[in-house]
Structure 1
Amino acid sequence: MYVKLLAILGSVMVLLNTSSTTEGEPIVGGVPTRYGQIGRNITLSCNNTGDGAAEWRLNDIKIMEAGDVELSGSHLTLLSANPSREGQYSCHNQETGNAYSKVSLLLGYPPGKPQVSCWSVRYPLNVVCSWKLENQTYLPTETKVTYSYGVEYVEGCSSEGTLQGNCTIEDIKLFSKIPYTVKVTATNPLGFRSTNKQFIVEKIIKPDPPTDVTVSAIPNQPKKLLLQWKPPATWPDPEIFLLKYIIKYWQERSNRPRMIEVSDQTNYTLRGLRSRALYFVEVAAKDFVDNGNSSDWSPTVSARLWSS
């Protein structure tokens, strides 16, 4: 599909500054498709070989000149075309009604710049890059995703007809200063846009949040809470690739949370708290040697301090 669209762009598509339309390949019944951009002027020409003025119809209904339609001889111009103007256009002999030519008009937008982000959630196993287009095109749009490591190779990662998706890079090179480059190209009959995203693996480490976070009162300890959690389920080997954790906690009706950082442990006792108060807690994970970014926060948990 991607190759087909490039062929359309290279050999069939004619971009007009004034009309912003392109011709595509024939559809059912031999009627060609013309692609136009919403909000642009679009001019259609009748194949009446010099027979003068023609009658234009949209879905077999006669078109009359109006504020957004201009008729000039054998030409029809749609001013600031909107989606209601999509359909099958035909031009006819004014006397006999015989059709000279037909064209199916589809309206939309060229692709916007793809937005690309890359993270290593399962370090050191892989990197996942996600992408999405910044706009809805309303036209058949193909995306092709490739990646390269330095100049050694270019690998295809994904080729889809959707507006967003993911690309997983396996067997990543660790502790290298040579960047990876991910290229996302979106193509449709009105044009194409590309984005290149470069990264060093260790700089884009971002674990998922810790799981099974709980906080509970400690019997006979009116100023302490016990906080427990588990490493992210997606983190491959927390005993070899260590994690540290950031604890955020705050008292009910307070907008000033406190932060604590702990290393390579999955429990912590919060101390010096206010008796009988209700506290809220969240936990985030980060690579032990501070590479990359912290995870998102875990779901909030809460507990009230022990009271006799």
Structure 2
Amino acid sequence: MLSATLGLLAVLFLAFGDGLVPEGCPRLDVPGDILTQVPGAPITLTCLDGELKNNATIHWTLEDKPIGPQLGQREMVGGKLLLRSVQYNDSGNYTCYLDGSPVRTLPLLVVDPPEEPVFSCHWKSFVTSIWCEWSLQKKPSPQTKAVLLVRHVQNEETFQRPCHYLQGSQKFSCPFHLRQEDNSLYLAVLCVTNGVMRKASKAQQFRGYEILQPDPPTNITVTAVDKSPHRLKVTWKDPPSWNSIYYRLQFELRYRAEKTTDFTKIESKDQHSLIISDAWMGERHIVQIRAQEEFKLGKWSEWSQEVMGTPWTEPKTPTVETELFISTQVPTTWENSIESLSPENPEGITNTLPEPDSTHSPYTFLVAGGSLVLGTILFIGIIMR
């Protein structure tokens, strides 16, 4: 019954929020002595509140430089300066002189109307503040200010928090703190002004657990497992913003070979290392990890940055090139050995080619011929027998 009542209150607030917010937004205007206007709009500058004498002489300066009437742009009527369509370069200090003496200086600021704020809130950890942020499309004027209005629906408590502009990321950031494990229903509106106009965002409702979203894990390493061509070891650490020893995270890892597009996912609860056991042999892999509160409260973090790793590959053995040596040296006999070591050939160098007058060649042919004749006679004898 209570949850239904809170839900009804939230619906009513959202339904009528846009009409109630302008009155609810605090005035964040620039100091009251500065005149402000948006580009293209007219404005009239008055020198004196009362009537002027007929013979009075009035002239105006902008930043101490004389200005006068300009067709279609500037007109002087009864001591008043009418600017029909102001532009950015019309900003400055306008001084009115009566009979040569300065009477009044009016600062004018020409600025664009503020963007309509569109913000989102996130909670990085139970022990940190909630941050509501608004990213602008273009750089705001220096006079732009913002404030966040927050209402606790259950006890109808309303509070406001100032927003700070971050130059680098070009966004307004508005922190506020909730007690740990607060899952109450809240409504928030972002109000902004640039001194000319005020605008309010649409009312947003959220519960603490719904906007809990950790940062991605850090210090991710992907290393090869020795002598395992299909394995990769992945290690990581909790994000620094999850600075609590009482609350833990669960993780999801996804990976793919670099030349593929489909990821494989692995879940890990309360661990900070995993082994990928089906990696592609010899291929570089892309690994990412995200985190969520251990009991699945809130949202998953964004995926971490990509980290690369390649499985172990067997080292290649160096190839030995074998050269084929063809020897022309004749077999060495005992006599040849003695002969080769004679005083005439002390280094034992053997001439492998027979000299022309050598007697070895005819002798060799004689032995071969005799062997052939003897073999033929034996063969005929066997046949005749």
TM-score range relative to shorter protein:
0.7 to 0.9
* Residue number among 102, 106, 109 corresponding to 1:103 in the alignment: 106
1:157 paired with 2:157, answer: no
Residue number in structure 1 paired with 2:121: 118
Q: State the secondary structure of the residue aligned to 2:147.
A: strand
Distance 2:241 2:93 in 1: 52
Distance 1:259 1:91 in 2: 73
- For structure 1, the residue ranges without an aligned partner over 5 or more in a row are 10-21, 26-32
RMSD (CA atoms) = 3.2
Residue number in structure 1 paired with 2:40: 39
1:138-153 equivalence runs, <5 A: 138-152=141-155, 153=157
Q: State the secondary structure of the residue aligned to 1:223.
A: coil
- For structure 2, the residue ranges without an aligned partner over 5 or more in a row are 1-24, 315-385
Task: Return 152-161 or 38-47, whichever deviates more.
Answer: 152-161
Q: Which has the higher strand share?
A: 1
Contact 2:120 2:134 in 1 (8 A): no
Residue number in structure 2 paired with 1:198: 205
- The TM-score, its normalising length taken from structure 1, stands at 0.76
1:267 paired with 2:269, answer: no
Q: Which has the higher helix share?
A: 2
* Residue number among 85, 104, 107 corresponding to 1:80 in the alignment: 85
1:10-53 Cα offsets, whole Å, 9 max, x none, are xxxxxxxxxxxx9923xxxxxxx322223322222332724478
Higher relative contact order (CA 8 A, sep 6+): 1
1:217-267 Cα offsets, whole Å, 9 max, x none, are 1111111111122233332557x6443222122222434333333333222
Distance 2:227 2:76 in 1: 91
Residue number in structure 2 paired with 1:13: none
The alpha carbon displacement at 1:279 in A equals: 1.0
Distance 1:256 1:280 in 2: 11
Cα distance 1:256–1:65, how it changes in 2: closer, same or farther (>3 A)? farther
1:233 paired with 2:240, answer: yes
Q: State the secondary structure of the residue aligned to 1:66.
A: coil
Identical amino acids, percent of aligned pairs: 22
Cα distance 1:301–1:133, how it changes in 2: closer, same or farther (>3 A)? closer
Distance 2:293 2:113 in 1: 41
Cα distance 1:268–1:81, how it changes in 2: closer, same or farther (>3 A)? same
Distance 1:149 1:173 in 2: 15
Contact 1:120 1:207 in 2 (8 A): yes
Count of residues paired in the alignment: 279
